[in-house]
Amino acid sequence: MPILKCTAVKCVYNQEKLCSKGDIEVRGDHAKSVDDTCCSSFRERSGDRNEYEQSCGCGCKTIDVGCSAHKCTFNEDEECSADAIHINGSNACDCDETCCGTFREK
């Protein structure tokens, strides 16, 4: 499992730049660059404290990462094999405004 750092701080699963979801999915079927990818697991935080408490456990340093970016060098059977992954999106309000900063085209 890759070490995950996530700057999508408006995501309901983000806890101190770690993810509390347990697993995420990186989308980018035809990606040729970082900007062609996104974290499809992103869900914008509404500000409702109950939503946050129900959706989030503790932030995890390592996480399972499913990946449909078939042209990424780290994609092995639709799983990310990178040692570390960075999800970018500090101002993201939906998943299309995030990206996998670790993507490298084969």
Q: Tens digits of per-residue pLDDT, 65-85? A: 999 999 999 999 999 999 999
Q: Where are the beta strands (DSSP E) in 2-105?
A: 3-6, 14-15, 18-19, 23-27, 38-39, 64-67, 75-76, 79-80, 84-88, 99-100
Band the pLDDT of 57: cuts 50, 70, 90.
Answer: low
Residue type, 66: G
What pTM value is reported for the model? 0.88
Mean pLDDT of the residues in the chain: 91
